């Protein structure tokens, strides 16, 4: 088990290294000179050159990359033009927002986490629950209703569902405040009521695929020999379904959930835009619009970290669920 864990962590580190190199190269590949957006109107070649020097853009690529990585790990001094000392994890200085990129991230990352994590819990419970029910009640009206519900969810777009929910619950019924972000540590009730619509609409859309997947998996597992054995032992239905069938049916759901949650943590642009909440996703889009390269790099890197971490987590969960995986 320890070896399995080490192997997974090692390959995850390699992946992240590759992503960071690619992201860094993208900085130079993009058809936009970061310097010209910095020195604004009264620009002249000498000044451009000085800014370039300040930013270290005249250093060899490798030492620039090393400096960037060193900043993430230990922090570094960026010079007075870029806010001076930049503590770890230092992601550079943004001339567009005029603040350290890590400060921007520290502000918007909790927002995205607050949207995605409760929504993911909700969509997993809803999706797997619906899938289980419709598998166990196959062919009944309950099954058809659950499948219809998930088909609807799969066919709709978030900005539509979000807009309808906003109209009904915020503007007509006035049951909920206009969506906004409050820290959960500050005021949990306000945190929940401000983000509830985002959770519900994400959960509605995402749960669809989970309902279908877990229904199909459950149906397949129910015809397995070991489920018949469990029944032949005289186990009660809840034990047969919960302990024996569900555990075997859940593995593909875990895979998809890992990909979805990892991806969503990298930014839920449409959700954030629909509900007017500034999270990681909108920050990334804004950065692309304004050519804010340090911020783009940071958001891409963070999204990659989430996807890689989610995959490591999925592998670990696999090993916990299926003892045969631990051998590999």
Contact positions vs other proteins (CB under 8 A): 224-226, 228-236, 239, 244, 247-248, 321-324
Cβ pair 311, 254 in contact under 8 A:
no
Cβ pair 257, 210 in contact under 8 A:
yes
The three-point CA angle 10-15-20 to 5° equals: 125
Q: What's the rounded Cα separation, in Å, for the pair 206 and 222?
A: 24
Q: How far is the CB of 323 from other proteins (least distance, A)?
A: 5
| Length, in residues, of the chain | 328
Q: Which is nearer to other proteins, 249 or 298 (CB)?
A: 249
Q: How far is the CB of 225 from other proteins (least distance, A)?
A: 4
Q: How far is the CB of 322 from other proteins (least distance, A)?
A: 6
Q: Which is nearer to other proteins, 156 or 321 (CB)?
A: 321
Q: Which is nearer to other proteins, 146 or 200 (CB)?
A: 146
Q: How far is the CB of 321 from other proteins (least distance, A)?
A: 6
Q: How far is the CB of 244 from other proteins (least distance, A)?
A: 6
Nearest to 253 by CA among 280, 217, 282, 223: 217
Q: Which is nearer to other proteins, 219 or 288 (CB)?
A: 219
Q: Which is nearer to other proteins, 54 or 224 (CB)?
A: 224
Helix/strand/coil (H/E/C) assignment for every residue in 237-282: HHHHHHHHHHHHHCHHHHHHHHHHHHHHHCCCHHHHHHHCCCCHHH
Reply yes or no: is the peptide bond before residue 89 cis, omega within 30 of 0. yes
């Amino acid at each position: 088990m320890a070896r399995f864990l080490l192997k997974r962590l090692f390959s995850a580190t390699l992946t992240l290294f590759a992503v960071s190199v690619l992201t860094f190269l993208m900085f130079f590949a993009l058809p936009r000179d970061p310097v010209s957006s910095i020195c604004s109107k009264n620009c002249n070649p000498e000044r451009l050159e000085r800014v370039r020097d300040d930013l270290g853009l005249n250093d060899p690529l490798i030492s620039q990359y090393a400096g960037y990585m060193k900043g993430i790990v230990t922090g570094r001094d960026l010079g007075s033009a870029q806010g001076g000392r930049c503590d770890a994890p230092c992601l550079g200085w943004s001339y567009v927002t005029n603040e350290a990129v890590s400060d921007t991230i520290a502000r918007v990352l909790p927002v995205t986490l607050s949207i995605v994590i409760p929504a993911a819990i909700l969509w997993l419970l809803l999706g797997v629950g619906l899938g289980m029910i419709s598998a166990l009640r196959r062919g009944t009206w309950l099954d058809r209703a659950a499948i219809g519900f998930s088909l609807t969810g799969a066919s709709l777009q978030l900005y539509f569902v979000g807009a309808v929910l906003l109209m009904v619950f915020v503007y007509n019924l006035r049951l909920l405040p206009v969506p906004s972000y409050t820290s959960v540590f500050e005021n949990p009730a306000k945190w929940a009521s401000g983000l509830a619509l985002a959770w519900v609409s994400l959960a509605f859309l995402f749960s669809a695929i989970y309902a279908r997947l877990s229904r199909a998996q459950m149906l397949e597992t129910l015809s397995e020999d070991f489920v018949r054995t469990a029944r032949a032992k005289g186990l009660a239905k809840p034990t047969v379904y919960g302990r024996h069938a569900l555990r075997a049916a859940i593995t593909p759901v875990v895979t998809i959930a890992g990909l979805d949650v990892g991806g969503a943590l990298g930014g839920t642009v449409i959700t954030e835009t629909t509900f007017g909440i500034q999270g990681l996703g909108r920050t990334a889009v804004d950065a692309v619009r304004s050519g804010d390269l340090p911020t783009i790099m940071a958001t891409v890197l963070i999204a990659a970290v989430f996807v890689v971490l989610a995959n490591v987590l999925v592998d670990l969960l696999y090993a916990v669920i299926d003892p045969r995986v631990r051998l590999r």
